[in-house]
């Protein structure tokens, strides 16, 4: 499974749970035959996560930065997500459906037991959000 396939699975799962999902992911740069880089991205703000899920009935919004394998959030992404957490909105990187399940259980959207193998970075950002939303 590649990152885009994971993103599609996350979107389907969120929609099945009643979320409206907005996509902000950017396409990667490609090269033309002459070797020059072509950027066909969305020209979004640096650091903005790939997905925003809005659970209207619960009044909850969560931002998700989809990561694949060993990819880590960029400095812009880390700053953006930490700022949102400080403002009371959870913004978190996720590497798989287990991470998503954990995030949704912390938000009270999902009331299912979560497997123990949640990524450390996902745990870290949920921790920031909990700490800053209590302040």
Domains of the chain: 3-134 (3.40.1350.10)
pLDDT of residue 38: 54
DSSP 78: H
Secondary structure tally for the chain: helices H, strands E: 4, 6
Q: How many CB atoms lie within 10 A of CB 121?
A: 18
Q: Of the spans 29-33, 43-47, 90-94, 125-129, which averages the highest pLDDT?
A: 90-94
pLDDT of residue 46: 83
Closest by Cα among 21, 34, 25, 29 to 62: 21
Beta strands in the chain (DSSP E): 20-23, 30-31, 37-38, 51-55, 60-66, 90-94
Task: For residues 102-111, give the mean pLDDT.
Answer: 91
pTM here? 0.83
Task: For residues 30-37, give the mean pLDDT.
Answer: 60
> Residue 77: which pLDDT band, with cuts at 50, 70 and 90?
very high
């Amino acid at each position: 499974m590649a990152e885009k396939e994971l993103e599609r699975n996350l979107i389907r799962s969120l929609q099945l749970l009643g979320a409206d999902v907005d996509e902000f992911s950017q396409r990667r740069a490609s090269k033309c035959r002459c070797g020059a880089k072509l950027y066909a991205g969305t020209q979004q703000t640096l650091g903005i996560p790939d997905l925003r899920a809005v659970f209207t009935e619960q009044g909850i919004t969560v931002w998700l930065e989809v990561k694949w394998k060993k990819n880590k959030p960029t400095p812009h992404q880390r700053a953006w997500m930490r700022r949102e957490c400080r403002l009371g909105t959870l913004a978190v990187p996720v590497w798989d459906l287990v991470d998503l399940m954990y995030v949704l259980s912390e938000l009270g959207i999902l009331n299912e037991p979560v497997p123990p193998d949640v990524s450390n970075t996902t745990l870290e950002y949920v921790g920031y959000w909990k700490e800053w939303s209590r302040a």
